[in-house]
Amino acid sequence: MRRKMTIHEAALAVVRHLRQNGHEAYWAGGSVRDMLLNRDPEDIDVATEAPPERIIELFSRTRKVGAKFGVVMVQQGTHWIETATFRTDTDYQDGRRPVSVEFTTAEHDAQRRDFTINGLFYDPIEEKVIDYVGGQSDLDAGVIRAIGDPGQRFAEDHLRMLRAVRFATRFGFEIEPATAEAIGQQAGKITRISPERIHEELEKMLGHRSRAKAVEEIARHGLLEHLWPGSHWPADRLQRALGVIGALPEDVDFVSVMAALLHELSVDVAKKICRELRCSNRQIDDTGWLIENRNRFDEAKSMSLAEFKKLLAHPRADDLLALYKAICESQNKSLDVYVAVGQRRDSIPPAEVAPLPLVTGEDLIELGLEPGPQFKQILDKLYDAQLNNELITRRQAIEQMKTYINRQH
């Protein structure tokens, strides 16, 4: 079987083919940064002086995704390599994207990028870094620095303010003073960015183990209060939320962190915020469920076995237990209840948490009951009895069903 081409081999092949046809070409941006930080890049982008139509001419499998901005996707093996023409951006009018671009040189292309650590090029053939913006020294120093005038960089694309925080917290870097000052001055402009793009950035930040630091920095730079309409964060509530977020397990996802961040709000308000951020329906419902049930385990001792099993049957049950523990730890509460809940959960065989019902509505119809509201009432009672281990066999459930029907007649 033929070996699958790696992303590095695919991106190298694109550069090599462009070079062989007389065009300057390098790896660019975040992939170079990650390589220098000894991190495996998920994607490798190529930048070249070849114009889009020439890229399309040179490669047999291409896809236009932003040809007017000089971006063409080139397929190599199973990989699609984003291949962009060196450009300068002009006339940013919406705080998001340029109205037009002009094709240019590698040096000028580097100048239009956001941060110095993202403005590096790498020659994979000669194996050397091309640095026009001081990105290598900032990587070595652990600094996030806007290229050129930070105020202008953030005015061009307001989302860069959130990206600055994401890079700083993910890599453990510091945002240099002039760049940080520009974020503070323009923080309110983040409201001009679409909720979808803000949501995408938040997912990247909150899904990473540096999430607590990210939220703290978003707030410190004045961005948190502008991320959705009505966002308001008194210092004490923010500190409590950060405490819960910091106590979560490392591997939790965006939904769990949103529930931790918003756990003191009502379910309706929390779900409204998630809708404002264009979360998916599943994310909205799951965040609401976690917040609604965040204190349910306090009642664990008095819960019937059926109630407890129904809680465990939810796909987010483990996340709920993790959230409950994080809240307890952040408030310096005893973990005795958390431990007891875990022991009770472990004592229940997985197959008994959400078993198929012993009886169904078809059984009610066979016994002569007309479909109606009483159907659900009877079936719910029978299923609770089954979960409570009061009904073990189908025969027992049918007999109990007959008893309920007779009572209603």
pLDDT of 331 higher than 70: yes
Give residues with Cβ within 8 angstroms of 405, minimum separation 6. Answer: 364, 367, 368, 369, 378
User: Around Cβ 70, how many Cβ atoms within 10 Å?
Assistant: 22
Domain ranges of the chain: 1-141, 144-227, 229-354, 361-408
pLDDT tens column, 128-187: 999 999 999 999 999 999 999 999 999 999 999 999 999 999 999 999 999 999 999 999
pLDDT tens column, 68-91: 678 999 999 999 999 999 988 765
Class of domain 1-141: alpha beta
pLDDT tens column, 270-318: 999 999 999 999 999 999 999 999 999 998 888 999 999 999 999 999 9
pLDDT for res 61? 94
Q: Beta strand pairing status for 71-76 and 62-66? A: antiparallel
362 to 224, 368, 388, 403: CA distances (angstroms):
53, 10, 23, 17
Query: Which segments of 17-70 are extended strands (E)?
Result: 25-28, 45-48, 62-66
Q: Are 131 and 32 in contact (CB under 8 A)?
A: no
Residue among 358, 355, 408, 404 at smallest CA distance from 378? 404
Question: What's the rounded Cα separation, in Å, for the pair 257 and 245?
Answer: 6
For the ranges 56-70, 165-179, 255-269, the lowest mean pLDDT is seen at: 56-70
User: How would CATH label the architecture of 144-227?
Assistant: Orthogonal Bundle (1.10)
Q: Are 327 and 291 in contact (CB under 8 A)?
A: no
Question: What's the rounded Cα separation, in Å, for the pair 3 and 44?
Answer: 20
